Amino acid sequence: MNKNILYISIAAVVGLLAGWLIFGETSNNTVSKEAIQVSTGEHNHSGESADEMWTCSMHPQIMLPEAGACPICGMDLIPAEVGANGLLAEQFKLTENAMALANIQTVLVGENSVASEGGVMLSGRIAINGDETAIQPAHFDGRIEKLYVTSLGQKVNKGQAVAKVYSPGLVAAQQELITAYKLRESQPQLYKAVQAKFKNWKVHGPELDEVVKTGKTKESFTIYSHVSGIVTEIAVSDGAHIMDGKPIFKVSNLNTVWADFDVYENQISQFKKGEQIRVTTNAYPNKVFKAKVSYIDPILNVQTRTVTLRAVLNNKDEVFKPGMFVQGKVNSNTTVNESVITVPTSAVMWTGKRSLVYVKSDFEEPVFEMREVTIGNSTGENVTIIDGLENGEEIVVNGTFTVDAAAQLQGKKSMMNQKSKH
């Protein structure tokens, strides 16, 4: 009788193994484990789930077998949710066949020095030199009948006609001027006072001389620019009302421009004013432009955790265009003891607000989970990770979007879904 039971148990195990070989891996490994336990006369009464693990709500990469404090932030650990397949709530599994077909590749995260022999690489963009801007204001109240400056990027020269304006105040003042002109012999001070009024309004020259000579008032006057540069902002349009002192347009002198670079909080101590910075841009890949650090913002941007490092670039040849992306390289002499994590750029997915990577949670099995990270500077091939990864973790560097698609299909956190569907 005992022999028959033993034979039946062996046959059951063989059948299960054959089914696994034919149909591949199942999403629920607990069935095969239970079958093996039955065949050996053992049964686990502690439940079907894996041993309870503890994690941190702020740092989900932390997984410990016992309760306690997070080793990163010190917060109390909470129980990690484990599914029926033995995986944590945000984890999902791919088959070996899917891994091979999608050519999914992973690498171990390692450390690299912040300031390597080649210097520190910074990312930035070209901006208008704020010290070389000027505003063309209105000097009297009125209504614009015709605006001659109509497009951004338009070049304006000093003395150029920029608008034709109707002003009721000027019409009344002209009548006063005509009367004062007639009395100029007997009341010269009155005439000079009225002339000064027009001079303050920047209205003079042939148009005003014509009014005096003919004795007829004009309904509109031309405003002439007293600034020169490239138009970067237009505040009004045809038919708009203008007020004394309010801007009509803004111009900038682009003979020099700013190169503004982002420096992360943990890098601030490496830089100082006067250091030389070598600037490159994709528009001119074979050219290197030299400048010096002229400004380091004393206030930290709390949203990006960065400060602005600025250099002034000569732009007489109009090489640089505001908004253009540039890279800066600084050979800092500061000794840096800290180190940061760098990963291949292909490992990171950007959604605009979030930066994401996929971590291979199990070194033996193709189990993955999405991880949100904080990125630092990019050197083209690599990007700095400030927070979200630990040295020794394994991440996807090729086939990242395929892994993300699998996460979406399985209802897990992904680039498109910030919350998993349970």
Q: In this predicted model, what pLDDT tens digit does every residue of 163-186 receive, in sequence order?
A: 999 999 898 899 999 999 888 888
Q: How far apart are CA 260 and CA 122, in angstroms?
A: 10
What is the β-pairing status of strands 241-242 and 256-264? unpaired
- pLDDT value for 116: 43
- pLDDT value for 302: 86
> Which of 3-7, 246-250, 285-289 is the least confident region?
3-7
**pLDDT confidence of 108, banded at 50, 70, 90?**
confident
> Which of 62-71, 191-200, 298-307 is the least confident region?
62-71
Q: Is it the case that residue 242 has pLDDT exceeding 50? A: yes
Fold of 92-114+339-409: 2.40.420
Give the pLDDT mean for 56-78.
74
Contacts of residue 227, defined as CB under 8 A and 6 or more positions apart, other chains included, come to 134, 135, 136, 156, 158, 251
Which of the residue ranges 136-140, 281-285, 310-314, 385-389 has the most confident prediction, judged by mean pLDDT?
310-314
**132-252 shares the fold of 92-114+339-409:** no
Residue whose entry in the numeric block shows the structure tokens 């290197």: 288
* Of 219 and 21, more confident: 219
Q: Is it the case that residue 414 has pLDDT exceeding 70? A: yes
Quick check: helix, strand or coil at residue 45? coil
Cα 96 from chain centre: 36
Q: Is it the case that residue 127 has pLDDT exceeding 80? A: yes
Q: How far apart are CA 357 and CA 377, in angstroms?
A: 16
Residue whose entry in the numeric block shows the structure tokens 């190169």: 259
Cα 413 from chain centre: 22
In the chain, what are the domain boundaries? 1-45, 49-87, 92-114+339-409, 120-129+254-330, 132-252
Is 325 in contact with 282 (CB distance < 8 Å)? Answer: yes
Q: Is it the case that residue 210 has pLDDT exceeding 60? A: yes
Name the helix (H) or strand (E) containing 221.
strand 220-224
Options 3.40.50.300, 2.40.50.100, 3.40.47.10, 3.40.50.10490; CATH for 132-252 is 2.40.50.100
pTM score > 0.75 for this model? no
Quick check: helix, strand or coil at residue 264? strand
Q: In terms of C-beta distances under 8 Å and separation of at least 24 residues, what long-range contacts does 170-174 make, across chains too?
A: 170/140, 170/142, 170/201, 170/203, 170/218, 170/221, 171/217, 171/218, 171/219, 173/197, 173/198, 174/211, 174/217, 174/218
- pLDDT value for 252: 94
Mean pLDDT of the chain: 79
Q: How far apart are CA 140 and CA 95, in angstroms?
A: 76
- pLDDT value for 378: 67
**CA 358 vs CA 265, 352, 374, 399, 401: distances in Å:** 25, 17, 14, 10, 10
**pLDDT confidence of 250, banded at 50, 70, 90?**
very high
- CATH code 2.40.30.170 for 120-129+254-330: yes
> Which of 62-66, 169-173, 225-229, 307-311 is the least confident region?
62-66
Cα 245 from chain centre: 36
* Residues 204, 209, 215, 221, CA torsion sign: negative
pLDDT, tens digit (0-9, with 9 covering 90-100), for 81-95: 555 456 777 788 888
